[in-house]
């Protein structure tokens, strides 16, 4: 446990940032899972809505450095292709 006041504050700030980063990463992964489920269920409207959210939140995660750019682009590309090929 830190003794210096600035160190105590730094611990709080790091904990808060870690929680926010974790929330964003989990949101992205849950959106991807839900989109895959919508694709399997042949629900094109829901899949398209989720795809928009996925693109938005993956771009946010890339800008914060939580996900690599190529990884995000690959995920978005694969999901877009799957949604386009739906009946």
The architecture CATH gives domain 10-84: Up-down Bundle (1.20)
- Per the confidence metrics, is the pTM higher than 0.75? yes
Burial 12-33 (b: 16+ CB within 10 A, else e): eeeeeeeeeeeebeebbeebbe
pLDDT tens digits for 53-77? 999 999 999 999 999 999 999 999 9
pLDDT category, 87, cuts 50, 70, 90?
confident
């Amino acid at each position: 446990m830190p003794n210096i006041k600035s160190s105590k504050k730094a611990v709080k700030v790091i904990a808060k940032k870690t929680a926010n980063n974790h929330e964003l990463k989990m949101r992205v992964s849950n959106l991807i899972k839900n989109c895959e489920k919508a694709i399997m269920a042949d629900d094109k409207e829901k899949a398209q809505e989720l795809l928009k959210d996925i693109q938005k939140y993956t771009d946010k995660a890339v800008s914060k450095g939580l996900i690599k750019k190529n990884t995000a682009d690959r995920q978005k590309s694969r999901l877009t292709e799957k949604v386009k090929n739906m009946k």
